Amino acid sequence: MSNATKTPSALLSPELLAKLERMELVSRKIFRGRMKGERRSPRKGQSVEFADFRNYVPGDDLRFVDWNTFARLEKLFLKLFLEEEDLHFYALVDASDSMDFGEPTKLRWAKQLAAALGFIGLVRGDRVKIETVGQPARVGSPAFRGRRSLWRMLDHIEAIQPGEPTMLSQGIKNFCLRNAGKGIVVLVTDLMDKGGYEAGLKYLLSQDMDVYVVHVLSAEEIEPDLTGDLRLVDCEDGDEAEVTVSGPLMRRYKETLAAFVDAARDFCTRRGMMYLMARNSLSVEDVMTGYLRTRGLVR
Amino acid sequence: MNFLNTLSSWWQWAILAAIPPAIVLLYFLKLKRKPVEVPSTYLWRKSIEDLHVNTIWQRLRRNLLLFLQLLVLLVAILAVLRPSWKGEQLIGQRFIFLVDNSASMQATDVVPSRLEEAKRLAIELIDKMKAGDVGMVVSFCDAARVEQAFTFDRWRLRRAVEEIRPTRRSTSLAEALKVAAGLANPGRTSQDVTDYQVAEALPADVYIISDGKFGAVEGFSLGNLTPYFVAVGEVEARNVAVAAFDVARSETHPDLMQAFARLENYGPEPAAVSAALLLDGTEVGRAEDTIDPGGTTGVSFPLEAAKEGVLQLVVSEKDDFELDDVAHLILSPPRRSRVLLVTPGNEPLELALQTDSAMELAELEVAAPAFLGDEKYVKQAVAGTWDLVIYDRCRPKQMPRANTLMFGAVPPGGGWSAGEKVDLPQIIPVGAVHPLMQWIDLGDVLVVEATPLTPPPGADALIDSDAGALMAMAPREGYEDAVLGFVLIGDAPGGDGKSEQYVGTNWMTRQSFPVFVYNLFSYLGGAAGRSGVEPVLPGESFTLEHLAPGAKVTIESPGGSTTTGRAGEAGTFTFSDTDELGVYQVGVGGKPAGQFAVNLFHPRESDVPLRKNPRTELPSIRIGYVEVEGQRRWEPARREIWRELLLVGLLVLGVEWYIYNRRVAM
């Protein structure tokens, strides 16, 4: 492990880290966690917050019997408390070839965003997993927990390389198979999949996850600096399109792009997913402190 | 249409024929496109699909450039083939188009009019000019006007021709030829041998587009000019014209007025004409007659109560030339002349001036020579109160603003002088043609003694004698002074110291004396033409007299345009813009002060039928000693359009380039 990757500033600057320290991930749903954490859980457990009573059945832990009630009513009741558990946070990064475009590349930008969100999760004791869309179905990623796991998490993120061949919907399906639990999932992708993104997003919904879709586009996609007779080569599948870039075609392209973004936003909003379109020129800090805060992912 | 093969050998044709398939072949070869890697072709494909919705249009658009390229080639091949048809062209390099716009060119024997036809022919000639030829357009009537100086620009020549407007004036080809010759035959600018500023003589072809209604141009040398005559008009043109129109006192009934006119038939057929006389728009007489071809008829109308107004004579014959079918005449109220006689006493003269017939013409005032010193006289003399002042044996210090007649004295200044007295000079009447002396027989007149006159230069001697002029007349600032070198009644010192009168001539007892008095009043008194104001010809100037110097004069033309000016020092105002026919209204100082009429009394303009040379049966004109015959056919020539075709090709190429640069999607 090199020194460069050990420096958090490669992905996250110290100033950003300082700001992120004060933030926490917010889930719109209450999920069942695996370990005790700082989050409320639907499970009853050992906390200081009273939840309910129930009749004693043999085998129950006598420590939770409410002896005061027994003294009054001569019946055994068990005192139930709200359980506080950890939150599962998943950052699902699209590492396809198309993400390797732009300055900085969309993938780099996605990794920065995943690192920032992961850091918040670690600080707050949540269970953080950073996965990529192209991961094989059976190969999971390590879960990170606690501030001490920061370096490991950053190393894991830095190790993500572009060139994963899987299609978006298949990748999300694999993700869902690996991670049956509930939690917050932030999908960072450019949605540029010729098979469509709808099926994949539907998998995430079926998991009943709190889904955030961060749609990242590069300046080359929003305002292509192309002119003349060109043969456009798709970096992922090598598909070629012959175009003569003219004023009308450029207008038509921009209209198509706007329609594409609108359709994605519409699709997500209708299904209770949070959609955020971001261009790679935006700083991750702005996205964290501005856009994601207004959309309620962090506070 | 025929073609001229400009490609001489078969292999040139082979190359030309190979170009279109080559273009098509090249078109089907794939365009070499620059490969560019993009994140995804997903959006681009979608965009292209949208553009491909109108597939037919897209396909057309895709092939539009091919079509245009093939079109350019087609046009180029056509140009190489040099398509042409039989046409005519003008031989020469410099052309002068003289277009007649005189009155006769408004005849309608050629529809719509001769002038329009002339303009059409001129434009046709201009179109026959070759590239690089220069042309000039001159319109001419009694004066020539350069409408367009020499230019290569045929569009400007055509426009200059189109802008030629008709006039009502007579025709003078000499004027137009002088303008044309100014360039072709430059003369020395002076006799100075050191002057080398002489333009190079440039030969030019002169195309005279006219109806030939002008006299032979005499004494003109064509020099470098080559004349061509393009005749406009028909030999069969019909026209009945009012050739003259006047009003006079009836000879049989002196208290009646009589309007008479002369009608002429210039057409080839007898014409039954009906002439109506209108006074201020109301018909007061009508005459009908049949006039033989080339014949003349006179019509007269008695005018009983007519004292003033506008007389209009309208010929109702429908002919090809309308301008001369109407004539106007102004009847002004009769006004008696105001005559002052200054005499120490002259009974015979006073008697002669106060006869009934003389009193009809003039109002006489008699005064003694002492009146000349009176302030009243001086004022009246300056103000022009009198039309005529007769000084008998006396003379004023300053000549009045009036015509004068002097007996036995000469005007002060002006170059007049009288010689020594001579006895019984022998009279030689020399001025019989002068209006003042007409119908006067001096054969029986004796003059006892006379002082022969030395008149100023420019004077007319009216009665001469062996000793010198006895009567002379000289102009003075718009007036005329007549001076007699003898007296009718003279004063001679008598024996008792008193002056005695003696008779200086026996003229008073002769029949010619009352005639002289009548002439005197008519001519110098200005009573002549009182019955009608003299008509003016189009383009002639009209002079208003007896105006207060500096008076504001307004003249309104029949068309309604107004000209304003001020009378000169001599109390006259000359108006020359008399191009319109009809009645002009004159206003002086803002008040109506009369009218005058402009009529086309011009036999040459009215004689509209085209005249042919009897020998050649062709219309012709004569310039100097050269007979120029009408011509309508010109040198046959190939009319080619390869230049235009190449221009079209260039245009199509431009369109193609524009479309290519629009970079329409594939």
Identify whether the C-beta of residue B168 lies closer than 8 Å to the C-beta of residue B601.
no
Chain B contacts of A242, Cβ < 8 Å? 31, 33, 666
Angle at B54 between CA B50 and CA B58, to 5 degrees: 95
Spatial separation of the C-alpha atoms in residues B213 and B234, rounded to whole Å: 12
Nearest to A241 among B45, B51, B664 (CB): B45
- Give the pLDDT confidence score for residue B127 in this predicted structure: 87
Tens digits of residue pLDDT in B545-590: 767 778 889 999 998 899 998 888 767 788 888 888 899 988 888 8
**Residue in B with minimal Cα distance to A107:** B39
Choose the mutation target among A106, A221, A256 for the interface with B, i.e. most B CBs under 10 Å: A256
Compute the nearest-CA separation of A34 from chain B (Å).
Answer: 40
- Regions of chain B where pLDDT drops below 50: 188-192, 197, 528-531, 664-666
Terminal-to-terminal C-alpha distance of chain A: 33
Residue with tokens 């008519």: B522
Assigned superfamily of A3-30+87-294: von Willebrand factor, type A domain (3.40.50.410)
- Give the pLDDT confidence score for residue B62 in this predicted structure: 62
Q: What is the ipTM of this complex?
A: 0.78
Domain residue limits, chain A: 3-30+87-294, 36-85
**Residue in B with minimal Cα distance to A234:** B40
Contact A230 B34 (CB under 8 A): yes
- Give the pLDDT confidence score for residue B666 in this predicted structure: 39
Q: Does B41 touch chain A (CB under 8 A)?
A: yes
- Give the pLDDT confidence score for residue B650 in this predicted structure: 92
Chain A contacts of B47, Cβ < 8 Å? 249, 252-253, 255-256
Ordered by where they begin, the domains of chain B are 10-31+40-83+641-662 (no CATH), 89-186+200-235+610-640 (3.40.50.410), 240-334+601-606 (2.60.40.10), 337-524 (3.40.50.880), 542-598 (2.60.40.10)
Chain B contacts of A257, Cβ < 8 Å? 43
Contact B663 A247 (CB under 8 A): yes
Q: Which of residues 42-81 of B touch A (CB under 8 A)?
A: 42-48, 50-51
Give buried/exposed letters for B520-548 (b at 16+ CB in 10 A, else e).
Answer: bbbbbbbbeebbbbebbbbbeebebeebe
Give the long-range contacts of residues B644-647, CB within 8 A, separation 24 or more. B645/B75, B645/B76, B645/B78, B645/B79, B645/B83, B646/B75, B646/B76, B646/B79
Choose the mutation target among B41, B49, B52 for the interface with A, i.e. most A CBs under 10 Å: B41
A–B CB contacts, 8 A cutoff, strictly below: 108
Q: Would the pTM of this model clear 0.80, i.e. be above it?
A: no
- Give the pLDDT confidence score for residue B340 in this predicted structure: 92
- Give the pLDDT confidence score for residue B528 in this predicted structure: 47
**Residue in A with minimal Cα distance to B48:** A249
- Regions of chain A where pLDDT drops below 70: 1-9, 27-49, 82-86
Residue with tokens 């939840």: A51
Residue B293: asked if its preceding bond is cis (omega within 30°), the reply is no
Contact B47 A239 (CB under 8 A): no
Amino acid sitting at position B635? E
Joined together, the tokens standing for residue B166 give: 């008709």
Residues 6+ apart with CB under 8 A from A144: A118, A121, A122, A127, A128, A129, A130, A150, A152, A153, A156
Residues 6+ apart with CB under 8 A from B139: B98, B99, B100, B101, B145, B147, B164
Q: Does B658 touch chain A (CB under 8 A)?
A: no
Identify whether the C-beta of residue B327 lies closer than 8 Å to the C-beta of residue B242.
yes
Burial of residue B237 (CB within 10 Å: 0-12, 13-18, 19+) is buried
- Give the pLDDT confidence score for residue B185 in this predicted structure: 67
How many CB atoms lie under 10 A from the CB of residue B351? Answer: 11
Q: What Cα–Cα distance (Å) separates residue A290 from each residue in A129, A295, B6?
A: 24, 9, 79
Contact A244 B34 (CB under 8 A): no
Q: Does B666 touch chain A (CB under 8 A)?
A: yes
Q: Which residues pair with B249 in a beta bridge?
A: B257
Spatial separation of the C-alpha atoms in residues B391 and B411, rounded to whole Å: 10
- Give the pLDDT confidence score for residue B162 in this predicted structure: 94
